[in-house]
């Protein structure tokens, strides 16, 4: 089996590479450096007319709130144009048997909801979510045209050792003592272990389809923060009651959208947002480890 993996130096990509590498005949990678093909996918992808049985497209732009139009444009350059460039490069050789695209539950464009399934409309307007919607459509159309099995995995917060983004910031804040939950940290959020995604990804690629992946439990902020605090040897995590948090959010509104806390951010933090993964469980035996059992920060 010969597989091409884009984004293998990224957080999820590294986990996928570590898990599948011993299981296959040959693994080629696409990254800016230290890979089989060193390139910026937003500019060009050259695969030297190589053919692959499976494509895992994990490269993408995430983990940042754009501060201006130039930063927002990067999401489209990487997530959309990068996907276009990869698909064009694949046309120079025999089509793969299957194409696996790493997407996000952000495509639904929701800030709250419970057990949202794959039939929910794609309403994202932010640069990240909207760029992933466009990339999903490009991949589906290309796979249909070339007779390729198409698998799209929509992921929530991906959890694992030394994570980037908001989870990494949360760990750092708890370690330094300036992180606090709001209103008891009762809001539940879907999340999933990176290792579980890697363990199931080839099975998902065999069947095709669009799937939400979660750990099935959906921890709340209090549970997650206390797990992290325990691993860091901290006694407890601070909590801010809702009323003073609301006052701080109003002040944040006046300070600008990039203030540490504003009304929009407060609503997200205090609202439950979970996704249904029963389709994946039925289709390819998705059976993940609960994050609260499997998450090790180092």
- As a whole number of angstroms, the distance between CA 114 and CA 239 comes to 24
Reading the block at residue 156, the tokens are 């929530």
Helix 127-146, helix 82-90: angle, nearest 10:
10
In whole angstroms, how large is the CA radius of gyration of the chain? 20
Residue 118: other Cβ atoms inside 10 A: 18
Domains and CATH numbers, the chain: 2-162+189-221+273-294 (3.40.50.720)
99 half-sphere exposure, CB direction, 13 A CA radius: 25
The predicted structure's pLDDT at residue 66: 79
Q: Of 200, 187, 85, whose CA–CA distance to 139 is shortest?
A: 85
- As a whole number of angstroms, the distance between CA 57 and CA 53 comes to 13
For the chain, which residues score pLDDT lower than 70? 257
Q: The whole model's pTM is what?
A: 0.95
Helices (H), 105-257: 127-146, 165-176, 194-207, 221-232, 242-255
8-state DSSP, 105: G
Are the CB atoms for 104 and 190 separated by under 8 Å? Answer: no
The predicted structure's pLDDT at residue 257: 67
């Amino acid at each position: 089996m010969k597989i091409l993996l884009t984004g293998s130096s990224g957080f999820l990509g590294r986990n996928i590479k570590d898990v599948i590498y011993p299981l296959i005949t040959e693994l080629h990678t696409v990254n800016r450096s230290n890979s089989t093909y060193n390139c910026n996918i937003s500019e060009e992808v050259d695969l030297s007319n190589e053919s692959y049985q499976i494509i895992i497209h994990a490269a993408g732009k995430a983990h940042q709130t754009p501060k201006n139009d130039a930063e927002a444009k990067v999401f489209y350059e990487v997530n959309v144009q990068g996907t276009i460039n990869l698909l064009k490069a694949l046309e120079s050789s025999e089509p793969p048997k299957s194409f696996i695209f790493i997407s996000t539950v952000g495509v639904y464009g929701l800030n709250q909801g419970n057990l949202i399934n794959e039939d929910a409309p794609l309403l994202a307007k932010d640069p990240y979510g909207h760029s992933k919607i466009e990339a999903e459509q490009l991949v589906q159309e290309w796979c249909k045209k070339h007779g390729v099995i198409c698998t799209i995995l929509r992921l929530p917060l991906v959890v694992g050792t030394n994570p980037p983004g908001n989870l990494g910031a949360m760990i750092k804040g708890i370690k330094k003592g300036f992180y606090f939950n709001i209103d008891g940290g009762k809001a539940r959020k879907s999340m999933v272990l990176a290792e579980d995604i890697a363990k199931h990804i080839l099975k998902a690629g065999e069947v095709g389809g669009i799937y939400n992946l979660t750990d099935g439990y959906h921890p709340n902020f209090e549970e997650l923060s206390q797990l992290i605090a325990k691993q860091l040897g901290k006694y407890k995590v601070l909590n801010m009651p809702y009323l003073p948090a609301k006052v701080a959010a109003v002040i944040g509104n006046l300070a600008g959208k990039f203030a540490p806390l504003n009304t929009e951010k407060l609503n997200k933090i205090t609202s439950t947002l979970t996704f249904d993964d029963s389709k994946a469980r039925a289709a390819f035996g998705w059976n993940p480890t609960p994050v609260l059992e499997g998450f090790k920060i180092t």
